[in-house]
Structure 1
């Protein structure tokens, strides 16, 4: 495993980070989820990312139980706040001071820890003054409940404004967690340059484009039974933007590149995002322990420049690059 600094901080994290978004507490049994976490630890992964909204708080509980007994100082545990949790009452959502303060306490209890290493705003809250949000995050840090703060799916302008307030408050906003893959590059034009300037790293989710970049989805064929594209709980909706024959045909064209480098398609996709020097970590999930074991082989891989150019040539115009997609795919008001 390789380790990278997170932003301009002194915190090092594993460049392959384990995330439990669509699996723990919902798609896989708790015993299997624990086995996946054990496989991650065995592979040298020390950084674990979750959120209170995943499986409506159950994912945090599963992760906390799976990590119980590990030396806390050897781990980096991240979680997030914004989306509705609990019964979904009027204040059970967003980035108000009330919701942040109540949510961090719930997350710590479920994760069985006194603090998280990184507490992240899971989306931008258009209905709460940014000053209120950043003051609450600063107080969470001062109370010792989080060491650093970050954001997820914020635009470059939102990141700049949040970073300025955090600096004024004396706390470190050091990370951004966006979607990023060979197929989804919307952060490259604005978010990445802004982050580089401010000393912020990316922790990227869905580096294999919800599984599309593994090559398992074939053009003109039905998705494999049990795959994310058949999951009506949310997975199918997330993946549908990539599920067309043009995209799937071009993805199949990446197989020779992967073969020449001695990588699986998934390993190639994960290694690709890690070539970006503003990316501190690629988030991987798993429904089976062997998936973790295979995916971590992308750590430390250098893809030659000519192979990077071939990837661009193969994918061509199916790559989404519009920086406006970050705002477009974010909620314009708090979800009910």
Structure 2
């Protein structure tokens, strides 16, 4: 297992991390993902630690707190062996202060998460969504308080736009508060929108990408293929409407390329898709999930080898789509290229 710095911080994370969204298993979305209990979670974490994985990701909304609870119980007695990443901001109730990133909400959310996780600190806290109603100064000063109190070590965001991140970073620099160093993003061979704006922002401002749903919301498992119906057992039947949409022709073009590359390198389709992501700029860690030991071991097999430049080019070509304005590739024109060379993006 390789380790990388999390953005422009001194924290090293494994290039593959484990997502605990399958822990707990309640509700229409998370119940479809999985219902891993403490005993099975402990076994999956054992396998991860043996493979060198040191980062485990969860969120308060995952099964309404059950994911944090199961993760905390499964790492009991070995807290010093793991890094815990969790998220807050999305609604956890119907009350007027049960959602968002206000000082009131963040402090209460962290206290609740610490209790569920059975720990006294969180290694990486990420805001799960932008709160348009709370001033960024209130959010960041609260995060500063939590960091100074030792309850949070590093901070980041998830599902933010570029301007939202930059507004916060500007405020952090102005007042000397901690900066975001992580950006948990959707990124896959069938969802490369991250590259248009957030990737160059991450490179410029020092945010490391923690990639969620790297297999395109379950579409790049090797089970979805051109000319065949979605398998009956696929969770896509229950979860597709919750995730990012994917054009069918793009999906099948990518799957065809993945199958060809996988056959040439002697790996599985998901292993190739994950290995491609590990090589992408600004990516600190790719979050893998698993409902059982077999899935986990297969995903862990995505590292320890490297796709060739030719295979990467094949996958790039199959997955490329034209970016919208203003990200449209004007850099291919001479005048734009002179002032915006590829290595500056």
2:245 is paired with a residue of what secondary structure? Answer: helix
The alignment partner of 1:21 has SS state of helix
User: Which deviations, in whole Å up to 9, do the C-alpha atoms of 1:45-94 show, x marking residues without a partner?
Assistant: 11001000100111000100111111x23311110101111x33111111
- Is 1:228 the counterpart of 2:235? The answer is yes
1:57 aligns with 2:61: no
**CA pair 302-146 structure 1, distance change in 2 beyond 3 A:** same
Of structures 1 and 2, the one with the larger relative CO (CA 8 A, separation 6+) is 1
Which residue matches 1:215?
Answer: 222
Question: For residue 143 of structure 1, what is the aligned residue in structure 2?
Answer: 149
Tell me how far 1:184 sits from its aligned partner. Answer: 0.7
The question of 1:35 aligning with 2:39 is answered: no
Change (3 A) 1:73 1:321: farther
1:53-132 maps to which residues of 2 (within 5 A)?
53-70=61-78, 72-85=79-92, 87-132=93-138
Q: Which has the larger radius of gyration?
A: 2
User: Structure 1 residues 323, 251: closer, same or farther in 2, change over 3 A?
Assistant: farther
What's the offset of the Cα at 1:321? 4.7
RMSD: 2.1
Any conservation in 2 of the 1:14–1:47 contact (CA below 8 Å)?
A: yes
Q: How far apart are 1:244 and its partner, in Å?
A: 3.0
Structure 2: tracts of 5 or more residues without a match = 27-33, 328-345
Alignment partners' CA distance in 2, 1:101 and 1:44? 32
Q: 1:17 corresponds to which residue? A: 17
- What is the CA deviation profile of residues 181-240 of structure 1, one whole-angstrom value per residue up to 9, with x for unaligned ones? 111111112111111111111111111112211221133433223322122xxx221357
Deviations 1:106-134 (A, max 9, x none): 11111111101111010111111111111
Q: Cα 1:289–1:175, aligned 2, differ >3 Å: closer, same or farther?
A: same
Contact 2:23/2:71 (CA < 8 Å) preserved in 1? no
- 1:115 and 1:17 map into 2 onto residues whose CA distance is 19
Specify every segment of 5 or more residues in structure 1 that has no aligned partner in the other structure, as ranges. Answer: 326-336
Q: Which position in structure 2 is the counterpart of 1:304?
A: 308
Query: Aligned pairs, how many?
Result: 318
Partner deviation per Cα, 1:18-60 (whole Å, 9 max, x = no partner): 0112454332230333332222222221100100010011100
Structure 1 residues 316, 185: CA separation in 2 closer, same or farther (over 3 Å shift)?
A: closer
After superposition, residues 183-198 of structure 1 pair within 5 angstroms as: 183-198=190-205
CA distance in 2, matches of 1:185, 1:83: 24
Are 1:215 and 1:252, in contact at CA under 8 Å, matched by a contact in 2? no
Q: Which residue of 1 aligns with 2:31?
A: none
Q: Give TM-score, length-normalised by structure 2.
A: 0.86
Once residues 246 and 118 of structure 1 are traced to their aligned partners in structure 2, the CA distance between those partners, rounded to angstroms, is 34
CA distance in 1, matches of 2:104, 2:292: 37
Following the alignment from structure 2 to structure 1, what is the Cα–Cα distance between the partners of residues 251 and 95? 40
2:277 to 261, 273, 277: 273
- Residue matched to 1:293: 297
Partners of 2:158 and 2:244 in 1: CA distance: 21
Deviation at 1:156, TM superposition (A): 1.5
Instruction: Kindly indicate whether residue 140 of structure 2 is the aligned counterpart of residue 134 of structure 1.
Output: yes
